[in-house]
Chain A
Amino acid sequence: MIEAQDLLLFKEIEQFVYREARLQDSHEYDAWEALWTDDGMYWIPANGDDIDPESQMSIIYDNRSRIALRIKQFHTGKRHTQTPRSRLCRVLSNVELLESTGNEYRVTANSMIFESNARGDTIWGARTEYLLRRESDALKMAKKKVMLSNNDKPLYTLSFLV
């Protein structure tokens, strides 16, 4: 039987991933970066979802310091591929809490992202796995793995936060 506190937890998690999606869509880079734990890992595999990122190429395989570098690059104003910025609208759905252990939560969701930029309009689809961790009473993102449905094919530039 589902307890009321489970529903509250689920609602909190759902609100967290929606907030993360909104910050990405609106290019609020610093607020987005603040969602990460100090050991955060941002991973977008290529050529399948279950490759070994320590031996195979990924589209993004950022540790925390590289996440920070990515954000700093946006802030220079000379990240040409995001100048002007992509117009983004994403729908997040199928949010599911897969597992809770202690203060960590494994969560999955699907996203459909509509991107409009100088090249044209592009639709991206992905299944995403999050590892969220409660730190000082707030949820943070310790891992985010974005499994693009077409990660085995040639992709146009993917320079917004996905």
Chain B
Amino acid sequence: MVTASEMVRTDSVHGALYSDEAIFQAELEKIWYRTWVYVGHVSEVPKPNDFVMKVLGPQQVLMTRDRNGEINLLLNRCAHRGNQLCMEQKGNRSSFTCPYHGWTFSNTGQLRGFPFASGYDGADRSKLGLGHVPRVAQYRGFVFGSFAAEGPSLEEHLGAARDALDRLCETSPSGEVEITAGFLQHRAKSNWKFLVENETDGYHPQFVHASIFSVAKSGIGELYGPQSTAVARDLGDGHTENDLRPEFRRIGKPMNWFGTNAERLPEYVASMKAAYGEERATQIMIDGTPHVMIFPNLFIAEIQIFVIQPLAANETVQHVTALQFKDAPDLNRRLRQQTMGSVGPAGFLLADDAEMYERTQRGVTGASKPEWNYLGRGLHRERRDENGFLVGDATDEVTSRGIWRHYRSLMEAG
């Protein structure tokens, strides 16, 4: 039998990687239940005892902020019989009581008590707490979890993607972003890796999104054209980005990255200049926010974040919401409006992306020869940038190749 790692070649990948249920199960063990996976943002649980229902891979997890302010990731499953513990999407409570037999757990996961306790004489309560994600860490407010008790730190995992998160936060006058607008949940009959690859595929926008670019008179298409000076970059560790800054700097207009101009956002521009000074603020507002895919599941797409959730080899949910910048109400309204128009099940952009996710899935399912997908675009012009990262032209598949290189290393690990 061919192993998953043999199915990844330098310039092509085997279709079974997207469709084989056994490979999907191996991915759960070697990727989703091992590496750092994005779960939520601290602004979703701002106060002590706040909680919100999130996902980590196919599983539901409760992200809680305990009374000490620490973030916990608890499996939403009673330690007694596995009953779904909490049915609320969010709220504020210090404990959770299972409706089945009344077991009660604190929001740090400890068993607080069970009814008719004499029936449990001799039981070790400390071993009967909720399952939890053993490692929880955050970077700039973004909370990640790892099911592996040991392994690289979050900062090591993020590697060069940390810079992208820094750049994102810097676009906020307060230096902070918030996730407060609720998520759209968009489901697709497709493998999660088609979504990951598509996020930083600079080759597709001009074709998949031609309809909306033409009627909305959007300049986004040109950013991903053959003449674009933007670059596709492999940041290493599976993280990839489409760096549009070369184009934005060439054009040199603040807020052009957001399809608008400084005059239309006077409050935001003023608070940016107050926070960073005229020169730095202008540069930040020219550069814009990143377009970065943080492996395996967090995609920051300029104005919104997507969280990818695998359910089966051929079933994936994309959770998406508008980024909100703390203390920038005029910008936040536009961020929400543009996000609602672009993404989710009815989005001008994402409904067409999802169509391609599903069509490619059908294409690779049960495929006979040729069963390989070709990812060789721009191999001949791949180069190292000044920081040593592999880059290609805006439409090159250097990003997909980077994702698969990392994927292979994870799947080969013992």
Contact = CB atoms under 8 A, between A and B. Distances in A.
Interface stretch (B138-146, B266-274, B347-355): B347-355
A54 B321 CA distance: 14
Interface in B274-332: 317, 320-322
B336 A157 contact: no
A72 B89 CA distance: 37
B346 A158 contact: yes
Nearest to B215: A72
Decide if the interface of chain A is mainly helix, strand, loop or mixed. loop
Given A44-B346, A46-B184, A57-B336, A157 B351 contact: yes
B348 A157 contact: no
Given A56-B181, A57-B184, A80 B356 contact: yes
B128 interface: no
Given A57-B321, A57-B344, A58-B340, A159 B215 contact: no
B346 A60 contact: yes
Interface string B335-372: 01101110011101001101110110010000000000
A156 B340 contact: no
Contacts, number: 105
Contacts of A155: 185-187, 345
A47 B211 contact: no
Given A66-B341, A69-B216, A81 B185 contact: no
B182 A159 contact: no
B322 A57 contact: yes
A55 interface: yes
Nearest to B357: A157
Interface in A120-146: 120
B182 A154 contact: no
A19 interface: no
A78 interface: yes
Contact of A157 (B188, B211, B214): B188
B43 to A, nearest CB: 13
Contacts of A77: 211
A91 interface: no
A11 interface: no
A51 interface: yes
Interface string A76-114: 111111000000000000000000000000000000000
B160 interface: no
Contacts of B89: 47, 152
A133 B355 CA distance: 36
B182 A119 contact: no
Interface in A33-90: 44, 46-47, 51, 54-62, 66, 69-70, 72-73, 75-81
B103 interface: no
B183 A57 contact: yes
A79 B356 CA distance: 12
Contacts of A9: none
Contact of A81 (B180, B214, B354): B354
Best-surrounded residue of A56, A155, A157 (most CB of chain B within 10 A): A157
A152 B184 CA distance: 9
A43 to B, nearest CB: 10
Given A51-B182, A69-B341, 5 more contacts: A62-B341, A73-B215, A76-B214, A80-B355, A156-B187
15 contacts: A55-B180, A55-B181, A57-B340, A59-B345, A61-B337, A61-B340, A69-B341, A76-B210, A80-B208, A81-B351, A118-B359, A156-B188, A156-B354, A157-B351, A157-B355
